[in-house]
Amino acid sequence: MALAGRTLKARYHRGLADEGVIMRIHGACHCGNIAFDLAWPGGVAVTPRECACAFCRKHGAAWTGHPDAAVDVRVGDDASVSRYRFGTRTADFHVCAQCGAVPVCTSLVDGKTYAVVNVRLFEGDVALAEPAAVDFDGEEEGDRLARRARNWISRVAVHDE
């Protein structure tokens, strides 16, 4: 699925004085059971990362995150959400058991939750940079967690509706 060259129709909001213009992006799984609202820092390109692992490839996921972003994840029916872990077992892929989509992935690093969101579940047209291919195979667990703390969304709220 080509992501580059899409037009921007996301809503912009004036954030706190120190945050400037914030782009608000809504996303959800196909049935809407897992939805998210992403507050993306103004002037920062939304750059998807296509992970080379079998799980992400088989689900067609392209992830994005930024340490200055914030995400509010809402779950309609928690009993219909599967949290899948594999490999180092340091990340939870939130899979909707109703429709099979994977909108968000979270990781607990030093007691704080970080997240990335799947850009392929954005609603509306959002300008996206060309996807970057990434491969984390062989990355040591400590390095992996440090990378997430540096690059993933740092303000994360996950709650039931």
CA distance 5 to 86: 33
Which tokens hold the place of 43? 């002037």
Q: pLDDT means per 10 residues in the chain (161 residues)?
A: 32 39 93 97 92 91 96 97 91 96 97 97 92 89 95 94 73
Least Cα distance to 153 among 126, 114, 125 occurs for 114
pLDDT of residue 10: 35
Alpha carbon distances (Å) from 43 to 19, 65, 86, 108: 11, 14, 34, 28
Distance between CA atoms of 73 and 63, rounded to whole angstroms? 15
What pLDDT score does 11 carry? 33
Q: What is the DSSP string of 37-71?
A: EEEEETT-----EEE-SHHHHHHT--EE--TT-EE
- Strands laid side by side in the 34-41 sheet: 11-14, 21-28, 34-41, 70-75, 155-160
Residue 137 gets the label, from left (phi > 0), alpha (psi -120 to 50) or beta, of beta
* Model confidence pLDDT, tens digit, residues 91-135: 999 999 999 999 999 999 999 999 999 999 999 989 899 899 998
Q: Are 102 and 73 in contact (CB under 8 A)?
A: no
What pLDDT does 87 receive?
82
Neighbours of 59 (CB within 10 A): 18
pLDDT value at residue 20:
60
Token pair 């992970």: residue: 51
